[in-house]
Amino acid sequence: MKLSMNEATVLEKSSLEKDLALCEKYGYDMIELRTMDCLANYLKEHTIDELATYFKTHHVKPLAFNTLCFFNNRTPEDYQKVLAELRQMCEWGQRIGCKTVITVPTVDIHKGYSYRNSCLSCEMSKGNGKDCSRIWYASLS
């Protein structure tokens, strides 16, 4: 069994840098990177390659990107934005060694939306045809 930290447990009281240091200090094996704030704030002053170097030189490793929110039941325009966000996570994931994206599906049903299967995959431009992420979501049926 591996011990992992979910950055959502500290929300606005921490940062990715602090979380990584605490994971190392207390023996955590993995971390769920919170993309909407912790990772976004980190990337304001660092690069994804710096994060990749960190993971290569430290014990703690990335478990998942947390979270691709409300990816289903979107307008066609919003669906394209979700796909762009997923592709960005996949590109980052290839660089830092993270192959999992946690998702939160939309549960509201609005008339007029284009409904789709609740499944996304991201194929990288390198042409290998392999999905770079696993998509986790709760089945609501």
pLDDT at 137: 38
Q: What is the pLDDT of residues 7-22, one digit of tens each?
A: 989 888 899 999 999 9
Q: How many domains does the chain have?
A: 1
The answer as to whether 8 is a domain residue is no
Residue at 52 is within a domain: yes
Range of the domain at 128: 16-21+29-107+115-136
Task: Give the model's pLDDT for residue 72.
Answer: 73
Distance CA(54)–CA(62), nearest Å, equals 10
Q: Report which of residues 31 and 129 the model is more confident about.
A: 31
| Cross-strand partners of 6 | 32
Tokens in use for 37? 């704030």
Kindly state whether residue 141 falls inside one of the protein's structural domains.
no
If pLDDT is split at 50, 70 and 90, which confidence band does 69 have? confident
Contacts of 52 (CB under 8 A, 6+ apart): 95, 96, 97
**Would residue 4 count as lying in a domain?**
no
Give domain status of residue 1, yes or no.
no
pLDDT at 138: 36
Asked if residue 69 is part of any domain, the answer here is yes
Report the Cα 82 to chain-centroid distance in Å.
Answer: 12
pLDDT of residue 34: 94
Tell me if 120 is assigned to some domain: yes
What mean pLDDT comes out for the span 41-56?
98
- Position 108 scores a pLDDT of 62
* pLDDT value for 82: 86
Q: Which residue, 72, 78, 1, 7, is CA-closest to 36?
A: 7
**Nearest to 104, CA basis, from 53, 67, 76:** 67
CATH number of the structural domain spanning residue 124: 3.20.20.150
The DSSP code sequence of 1-62 is ---EEEGGGTGGG--HHHHHHHHHHTT--EEEEEIIIIIHHHHHHS-HHHHHHHHHHSS-EE
Query: What pTM does this model have?
Result: 0.75
Establish if 121 belongs to a structural domain. yes
| Average pLDDT value over all residues in the chain | 80
Q: Average pLDDT, stretch 3-7? A: 95
